[in-house]
Amino acid sequence: MMENKPFLSSRSIIEDYSLLLEYMKKCKNKGLDCSNIIPTSQTLDELLEKIEKGAITFEQLLDYIKGKYENQVYCDLCVEAFKQVFNIAADCEDARRMLLIQLTGWYVEILETLGYVKLKSAWKP
125 pLDDT above the threshold of 50: no
Task: Give the Cα separation of 91 and 20 in Å (integer).
Answer: 16
DSSP string, 50-105: HHHTS---HHHHHHHHHHHHGGGS-HHHHHHHHHHHHSS---HHHHHHHHHHHHHH
Task: Give the Cα separation of 118 and 38 in Å (integer).
Answer: 22
With contact defined as beta carbons under 8 Å apart, do 20 and 102 qualify? yes
Question: pTM for this one?
Answer: 0.89
Q: What percent of the chain lies above the pLDDT cut of 90?
A: 72
Q: Span 7-36, mean pLDDT?
A: 93
pLDDT at res. 52: 87
